[in-house]
Amino acid sequence: MLPITAEVELGGQIIDLEVAQTRQQQTIGLMHREQLADDRGMLFPFEPPRPVSFWMKNVQISLDMVFVYQEEIVAIATNVPPCATDPCPTYGPGNQFVDAVIELRGGRAEELGLQTGDEVRVQWLESDSEVN
C-alpha cells in the first residue's frame, strides 16, 4: 500500500487517495489487493495529459475507473472484473485525453451517483516533512 497523499470529494463523500506517481507504482496499481474500503481509492496522475487504457491483470477485486480531464469526469468504467488470464482486456475512454484516473471499489461510482461531466477536485495533503 502507498501512503494517503491526496483526497477527493465524490458524491458528497471524502475519498482518501493513495497516489501512484511513478511508472512502477502505476504498473502495480491495486494488484493483489483483496479489498478496497468505501472511503479509499487510488489516483493515477498523468502529466502531460494523454489517452490511457488500464487493465486488471493480477487485480483480485472488481474496480470502477473514473477518467478525469481538467477536473471533469470524461468517462467511467464500472465494475471492471479481475483478470487472471492473458491477454487481459483494457479499459479507457478511447482517444480522449485524461490527466488523472481514480480507481474505486467496484460499484462505488454508482453508489456515489457519479456521472460524466461531474467536477473532480483532488486536494493534495501536506506531508509531515513539509510542515514547519
Domain boundaries, the chain: 4-127
- Residues 2 and 31 sit within 8 Å (Cβ to Cβ): no
Confidence at residue 130, expressed as pLDDT on a 0 to 100 scale: 44
Query: What pLDDT sits at residue 13?
Result: 97
CA distances from 127 to 3, 6, 60, 130 (A): 10, 10, 30, 5
For 17, residues 6+ apart whose C-beta sits below 8 A from its C-beta are 4, 5, 6, 7, 8, 40, 41, 42, 43, 102, 122
Helix residue ranges per DSSP H, 16-112 = 23-28, 108-111
In contact, 6 and 17? CB cutoff 8 Å: yes
Tens digit of each residue's pLDDT, the chain (132 residues): 899 999 999 999 999 999 999 999 999 999 989 999 999 999 999 999 999 999 999 999 999 999 999 999 999 999 999 998 889 999 999 999 999 999 999 999 999 999 999 999 999 998 654 443
Q: Which residue intervals of 37-128 are DSSP H helices?
A: 108-111
Say what the pLDDT of residue 7 is. 98
User: What's the pLDDT at 126?
Assistant: 82
DSSP 8-state secondary structure symbol assigned to residue 57:
B
Assigned CATH topology for domain 4-127: Jelly Rolls (2.60.120)
